[in-house]
Amino acid sequence: MLKLRFLPLLTLLFCQNSQAELRATGDLGVVIERAKGSALIINTSKRSILAKIDSLGDLSHASVVFSRDQRYAFIFGRDGGLSKIDLLQDKVEKRIIQAGNSIGGAISQDGQLIAVSNYTPGGVKIFSTKTLQLVADIPAEYGENKLSKVVGLVDAPNHQFVFTLFDAGEIWVVNIKNPKTIDIKKYKNIGNQPYDALLTPDGRYYIAGLFGEQGLALLDLWNPEKGIKRILPDYGKDDEKLPVYKMPHLEGWAVAGDFMLIPAIGQHEVLVIDKRQWTLVKRIPVIGQPVFVMARPDGRHIWVNFAFPDNQNIQIIDAKTMAIVKSLTPGKAVLHMEFTPRGEEVWVSVRDENQLIVYDTESFKEKKRLPAEKPSGIFFSSRAHQLGL
């Protein structure tokens, strides 16, 4: 009886921690600290850092996807590491080294499978999101038993993964509805050295950029039988122009209404493309070589960051006038930007200032600064609900 009298108190004391842990996952995010191989778990409502996760390996070119319940973040490291982070318990749930050198990944539409695109050995490996057990291994074979680097891996509707073979110049569409009998459609001769690709937000158009020649390779997933179409023949690296300090990220292309805004390679321009005919309708002069060209979720504003030596800047384009409405200088080495789900704020990583800066997207005023060690990519949990990210 004596013991029982104390139970409520003891329970309170010892349960407090797990009570304090009661946490929703709709407003969480992960920030990559590239130099330290660590990641921060952040909260976009409180604009705060909740936890730091260490020992994640080489994150010099890392990306993140989220489980469909938003509890887990999957971090793809440059060293082939695949780490599953529990956002409710601030810990590494599981970590594997699945290849020698990997470049990114995607999560299937139903959240059951996670795919990683690898440089060495060249190919795609598919894992169970629950256990990280290998479900399928797809070597990117071409020519005489050669393996190609794989880039531009995305998830698409109807249980598909789509990716591009850099060395082979091919696009493969994989249907993984039944992982035991994987169906692969291969599109060959898409162009020279496709270096990256994107999927439009509606999941319909897959577009690969070409490093070895000009133009872009377009696959319409609504009409796959029509094969690859070459668009924007004048787009791409032109050796007579400026040296290219950094190839832009295609994932950072912006779709705003009927238009797509994309970074011109090696030039101080953002290009406006009419999505209906895939024609160039305008060139917007900007302060440097654009890297990410990202639309606010409502499509009204497009935020642009730049390659060295102009990477202390951000410029904002108004989709109504297709002109710059604001220029900001957050600080040295602005690497990435991520909008809150409904777009009222944007988080910016400023690597060489060791800062995260949160801006109000209507007034462009700074709302908060947070410390981070050499921050690079910022990824919010709302990505769990979007196609092709």
CA 285 to chain centre: 25
Contact between 105 and a second copy (CB under 8 A)?
no
Q: Which residues fall within 8 angstroms of residue 132, CB to CB, at 6 or more apart?
A: 82, 84, 94, 96, 114
Distance CA(261)–CA(198), nearest Å, equals 13
Contact between 226 and a second copy (CB under 8 A)?
no
Q: Please name the residue ranges forming H helices in the chain.
A: 2-20
The interface with a second copy within residues 178-197 (CB under 8 A) comprises none
Least gap, CB of 256 to a second copy (angstroms): 8
Q: Which residues fall within 8 angstroms of residue 2, CB to CB, at 6 or more apart?
A: none
Site string for a second copy, 132-171 (x = CB under 8 A): -------------------------xxx------------
Report the chain's terminal Cα–Cα distance, integer Å: 58
Contact between 323 and a second copy (CB under 8 A)?
no
Contact between 89 and a second copy (CB under 8 A)?
yes
Contact between 227 and a second copy (CB under 8 A)?
no
Stretch that binds a second copy, among 62-70, 146-154, 182-190, 208-216 (CB under 8 A): 62-70
Contact between 111 and a second copy (CB under 8 A)?
yes
# residues contacting a second copy (CB under 8 A) = 60
Sheet holding 205-210, edge to edge: 194-199, 205-210, 216-220, 228-231
The count of C-alpha atoms lying within 13 angstroms of the C-alpha of 77, restricted to the half-sphere facing its C-beta, is 26
Contact between 22 and a second copy (CB under 8 A)?
yes
Phi, psi of 257 (to 5 degrees): 60, -130
Contact between 88 and a second copy (CB under 8 A)?
yes
Parallel/antiparallel/unpaired status of strands 259-263 and 355-360: unpaired
Q: Can you give the binding site for a second copy, defined by CB under 8 A?
A: 3, 6-7, 10-11, 14-15, 18-19, 21-22, 24-27, 43-45, 66-71, 87-89, 109-111, 157-159, 177, 202-204, 222-223, 257-258, 276, 297-300, 320, 340-345, 362, 381-382, 384-387
